[in-house]
């Protein structure tokens, strides 16, 4: 117990100082992640911060392989790779819990926004969720399968019913959903207040999940997607889409946007791509109805409220794919399932999806610039099929080596595999690669007069 300071100015101050030093020497009750960063010399400060991020136990933020998941991203032809991703095993210190997320940035600073969200959102979710739910967020004592009715186009105030049973179980799920939404709102607010990140005309999508035991919570914001690979009654592997792409042209999204005086229409050069526009000028042309950032549109119908759904994992469920729209724009859900099923080693599944997506871009849209692609493959049956995982060798290589090339569904094209840099942290700026003409997707049709004019808008 700290001694009371003695009377007298100097003596009292010295006693107080001694007590403070003694208390500090006993250590802090904060975890490593909770402790504030200590000031260091200018030459080493940036490196120390980077090292602290990389040493978070169980977390992978670049191309690599973990015990339960593999992940891979590749830069497209539009400039800096604006996709980011994270897999965090042993989430909240629990061996049965994992967090996964992919984030697709857009705008001149989209890559910065996506990485900022990647680095901050998981911790906020952990603090909000597990302060209220120390154990499993959903009680599954009777083994029943509970799943929220998918209503992915609900407004923030929407009170649509869910199929979760009434009572304590339903209350727990609704509280869990509220925690997810609050974490997303807090993250968005911090972006707005961050003076080091210009997010006026830049933003990011997010599709995230927490798997704890057999409980699966998925939260989606924008047009990235989560798809489940499961077996039907005949034992055939089929795709079950867990999220719905939140596009501006869906009736409910469009109604909200128009109530807020935003505009939704497709440019004549892209008749199949509806976009969100400011009331009085043809900018910025955002191809999604929900996103982090993009504060020039937040008063005109764009929101950062995710759609949150629950599912109890069954023995028929084998894996989940999280990917940005660079994958889903050119590959169907079933094609992605088939890629994973055909891989000789599961550790190469994410890269195989990205490889096929790159080939599909060049074949289907030869005049368009290939979009960035990021994919996470989370395997649900690791314990049951451990012999076929090759996880131990994969973890040692961290995805850098030399896995056997998997068999992949063939595209009807003679285009050879693309030889590009596999790094997820490209140093090429968006300004160095301007768009020469309209691409089919993710193009800027008119430049706003706010900030940088070299935008890369979704």
- List, for residues 323-344, the tens digit of each pLDDT value: 999 999 999 999 999 999 999 9
Question: Residue 80: which residues within 8 A CB-CB, separation 6 or more?
Answer: 111, 426, 428, 429, 430, 456
The mean pLDDT of the chain is: 73
Longest dimension (CA), the chain: 88
Q: Cα dihedral angle (111, 113, 114, 119), rounded to 10 degrees? A: 120
Place 169 in a pLDDT band, splitting at 50, 70 and 90. Answer: low
Mean pLDDT of 10-36: 37
Angstrom distance (rounded) from CA 189 to CA 193: 6
Which is more confident, 12 or 360?
360
CA angle at 450 for the pair 448 and 456, rounded to the nearest 5°: 60
Which is more confident, 152 or 369?
369
pLDDT at 58 over 60: yes
Angstrom distance (rounded) from CA 113 to CA 83: 10
Cα separations in angstroms, 210 against 136, 192, 218, 277, 357: 11, 26, 7, 33, 26
Mean pLDDT of 52-59: 67
pLDDT at 411 over 60: no
Question: How distant is the alpha carbon of residue 457 from its chain centre?
Answer: 18
Strands 307-312 and 263-266: unpaired
Going by C-alpha positions, the residue among 365, 373, 370, 362 that lies closest to residue 415 is 362
Q: Where are the domains of the chain?
A: 56-245+304-391
- List, for residues 182-228, the tens digit of each pLDDT value: 999 999 999 999 999 999 999 999 999 999 888 899 999 999 999 99
What does 91-108 look like in DSSP terms, one character per residue? GGG-TTEEEEEEEEEEST
Place 406 in a pLDDT band, splitting at 50, 70 and 90. Answer: very low
What value does the CA radius of gyration of the chain take, rounded to a whole number of Å? Answer: 24
Place 263 in a pLDDT band, splitting at 50, 70 and 90. Answer: very high
Looking up tokens 């009654």 gives: 233
Phi, psi torsion values for 238, nearest 5 degrees: -130, 160
* Cβ neighbours of 299 (radius 10 Å): 12
Q: Decide yes or no: CATH 3.60.40.10 for domain 56-245+304-391.
A: yes
3-class DSSP state of 338: helix
Q: pTM score > 0.85 for this model?
A: no
């Amino acid at each position: 117990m700290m001694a009371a300071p003695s009377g007298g100015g100097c003596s009292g101050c010295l006693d107080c100082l001694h007590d403070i030093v003694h208390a500090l020497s006993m250590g802090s009750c904060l975890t490593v992640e909770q402790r504030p960063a200590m000031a260091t010399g200018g030459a080493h400060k940036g490196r120390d911060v980077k090292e602290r991020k990389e040493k978070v136990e169980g977390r992978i933020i670049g191309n690599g392989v973990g015990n339960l998941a593999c992940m891979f991203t590749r830069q497209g032809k539009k400039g800096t790779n604006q996709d980011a991703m994270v897999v965090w095993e042993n989430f909240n210190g629990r061996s049965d819990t994992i967090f996964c997320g992919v984030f697709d940035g857009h705008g001149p600073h989209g890559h910065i926004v996506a990485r900022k969200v990647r680095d901050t959102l998981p911790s906020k979710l952990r603090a909000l969720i597990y302060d209220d739910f120390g154990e499993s967020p959903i009680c599954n004592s009777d083994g029943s399968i509970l799943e929220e009715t998918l209503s992915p186009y609900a407004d923030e105030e929407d009170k649509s019913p869910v199929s979760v049973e009434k009572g304590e179980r339903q209350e727990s799920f609704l509280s869990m959903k509220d925690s997810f939404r609050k974490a997303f709102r807090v993250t968005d607010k911090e972006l707005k207040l961050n003076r080091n990140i210009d997010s006026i005309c830049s933003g990011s999508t997010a599709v995230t999940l927490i798997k704890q035991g057999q409980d699966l919570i998925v939260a989606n914001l924008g047009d990235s997607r989560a798809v489940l690979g499961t077996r039907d009654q005949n034992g055939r592997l089929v795709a079950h889409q867990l999220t719905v792409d939140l596009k501006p042209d869906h009736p409910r999204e469009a109604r909200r946007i128009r109530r807020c005086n935003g505009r939704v229409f497709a440019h004549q050069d892209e008749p199949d791509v509806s976009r969100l526009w400011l009331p009085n000028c043809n900018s910025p042309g955002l191809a999604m109805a929900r996103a982090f950032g993009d504060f020039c549109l937040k008063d005109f119908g764009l929101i950062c409220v995710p759609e949150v759904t629950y599912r109890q994992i069954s023995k028929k469920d084998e894996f989940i794919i999280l990917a940005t729209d660079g994958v889903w724009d050119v590959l169907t859900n079933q094609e992605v399932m088939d890629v994973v099923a055909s891989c000789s080693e599961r550790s190469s599944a994410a890269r195989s999806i990205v490889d096929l997506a790159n080939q599909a871009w060049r074949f289907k849209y030869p005049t368009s610039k290939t979009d960035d692609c990021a994919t996470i493959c989370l395997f649900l049956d690791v314990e049951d099929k451990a012999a076929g995982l090759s996880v131990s060798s994969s973890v040692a290589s961290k995805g850098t080596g030399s896995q056997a090339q998997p068999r992949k569904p063939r595209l009807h094209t003679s285009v050879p595999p693309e030889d590009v840099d596999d790094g997820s942290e490209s140093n090429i700026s968006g300004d160095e690669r301007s768009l020469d003409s309209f691409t089919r997707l993710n193009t800027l049709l008119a430049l706003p007069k706010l900030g940088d004019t070299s935008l890369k808008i979704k």
